[in-house]
Amino acid sequence: MNLAEGVQSVSLIILSAMLISAALGVVLLSNIVYSAFLLGGVFICISGIYILLNADFVAAAQILIYVGAINVLILFAIMLVNKTEDFVAIPRRWIRSGSTALVCLGLFALLGTMVLITPWQISTTSPAVIENTMVALGKHFFSDFLLPFELASILLLIAMIGAIVLARRDFIPDISGKSELTSTALTLPERPRELTKSEK
Amino acid sequence: MSNQLQFYLLLSAALFCIGIFGLVSSRNAIRVLMSIELLLNAVNLNLMGFSNFLDPGAIKGQVFTVFVITVAAAEAAVGLAIILAIYRNRQTIDMEQFNLLKW
C-alpha cells in the first residue's frame, strides 16, 4: 500500500462510519427495498476496507460476488414475493426487541474486552512483502488448499441444482383440456397458478 | 499497529452484533437472509484483519475469505429458493407465521 498514513486513517474512519450506519439501516428500516440497497452499500464499504488491508483480489471478488450476484439475487427475491403485508401486531413485542438489543450489546462488550485485553503478536514483516496477492492466492489454492478448492466447486454445483429444484414451480396439469395455447417445442409443461384458475 | 488491528476487530464485532440483532428481531424472512450476509461479512473482515496484521507473509486469511464468500453465495441461493417455496405454500413471509414445526 503506497498511500500515506493520514490518508489511510481518514478513509478507514469514513468507511467505518458508512459501514456501521448502512448496517443499522439494513436492520432497522421498515422498507425492505431500502434495506436491500443499503446492503449493497455495506458490501461496497467492506470492499474498500479490504483494499486498505492490502487485499486487492478479494476486494474485487467481494464487489463481483456480493454486489453483483447476491444483492441482485436478494432484489429479485423481493420482487418475486412482492406483497406489502402488514404484519399482525404481537403484544409486548418491544420486550423481545429490547432484550435482543441488550443481549447484542452484551455480546459486543464481551468481544470488545476480549479484543482489547488480548496481547496480539503483530508480525513485524511489512505487508508489502507480497507484491501480487493474486499469484500468492493461486499458489495456495493449487498446493495446500487443493482439496477445499475442489470441494467448493462441488458445493456450488449442489447449491445450483438444489436452488433450481426448490424454486421451480409445481407441475399443474391442464384440467380444462382445451389447449388454446398451442404446444410448441418451446412451451413449458408448467402453468402459472393464476392461469389455470382463470380458465376454470 | 496494534491499535489498528484492534480497530478492525472492534468494527467487525460491531457488524456481527448488528447482524445478530437483525437475525433475531426481524419478521421479514428476506431481512433474516440479509442479516446472515452481514454476519458472514463480519467474519470475513475478521479474517482479513488477522491475515494482514498477524500473517502478512503467507496470506492464508485471504484464502479462507474466498472460501467463505463461496459458501455465502451458495447459502444465499438456496436460502432464497427456500423462501420462495415457503411463500408459495403459506402466502406470507412473516417469520411469526412459520410455525409448522411448533410442538
The interface pTM score, or ipTM, of the predicted complex is 0.92
For B94, phi then psi, to 5°, come to: -80, 125
pLDDT for the residue A200: 45
- Contact predicate A36/A78, CB 8 Å: yes
**Residue B21 contacts by C-beta under 8 Å, 6 or more apart in sequence?**
A27, A100, A101, A104, B35
**Region B27-48: what's the mean pLDDT?**
93
Contact B54 A120 (CB under 8 A): yes
What band does B6 get if pLDDT is binned at 50, 70 and 90? very high
**Region B62-70: what's the mean pLDDT?**
94
- Contact predicate B58/A133, CB 8 Å: no
pLDDT for the residue A197: 55
Q: What secondary structure does DSSP assign to B7-40, as a single string?
A: HHHHHHHHHHHHHHHHHHH--BHHHHHHHHHHHH
Could you give the CA distance from residue A135 to residue A132 in angstroms, rounded to a whole number? 6
Could you give the CA distance from residue A138 to residue A156 in angstroms, rounded to a whole number? 19
Contact B78 A55 (CB under 8 A): no
Q: Is the pLDDT of residue A177 over 70?
A: no
Torsion angle of C-alpha atoms A17, A22, A27, A31, degrees rounded to 10? 150
Contact B78 A61 (CB under 8 A): no
Q: Is the pLDDT of residue A160 over 70?
A: yes
Q: Is the pLDDT of residue B26 over 70?
A: yes
The gap from C-alpha A146 to its chain's centroid, in whole angstroms, comes to 25
Q: Which residues of A touch B58 (CB under 8 A)?
A: 136, 140
Contact B71 A115 (CB under 8 A): no
pLDDT for the residue A25: 94
Nearest of B50, B40, B38, B91 to residue B70 by alpha carbon: B40
Nearest of B59, B53, B16, B62 to residue B37 by alpha carbon: B16
What band does A88 get if pLDDT is binned at 50, 70 and 90? confident
Lowest mean pLDDT: which of A15-19, A52-56, A98-102, A121-125? A121-125
Q: Is the pLDDT of residue B2 over 90?
A: no
Residues 4-33 of B with CB under 8 A from A: 5-11, 13-22, 24-28, 30-31, 33
Contact B73 A65 (CB under 8 A): yes
Q: How far is A2 from chain B (nearest CA, A)?
A: 15
Higher pLDDT, B16 or A1: B16
Percent of chain A residues topping a pLDDT of 90: 54
Contact B67 A148 (CB under 8 A): yes
Q: Is the pLDDT of residue A3 over 70?
A: no
Q: How far is B9 from chain A (nearest CA, A)?
A: 7
CB count, 10 Å around CB of B2?
Answer: 11
Residues 52-81 of B with CB under 8 A from A: 52-60, 62-63, 65-67, 69-78, 80-81
Q: Which residues of A touch B3 (CB under 8 A)?
A: none
CB count, 10 Å around CB of A149?
Answer: 15
Closest alpha carbon within chain A to B66: A58
**Region A38-49: what's the mean pLDDT?**
95
**Region B86-99: what's the mean pLDDT?**
83
Contact A155 B57 (CB under 8 A): no
Higher pLDDT, A84 or B72: B72
Q: What is the 3-state secondary structure (H, E, C) of B49-101?
A: HHHHHCCCCCCHHHHHHHHHHHHHHHHHHHHHHHHHHHHHHHCCCEHHHCCCC
Range among A131-140, A146-155, A182-191, B82-91 rated most confident:
A146-155
What band does B68 get if pLDDT is binned at 50, 70 and 90? very high
What band does B94 get if pLDDT is binned at 50, 70 and 90? confident
Contact B24 A62 (CB under 8 A): no
Q: Which residues of A touch B44 (CB under 8 A)?
A: 46, 62
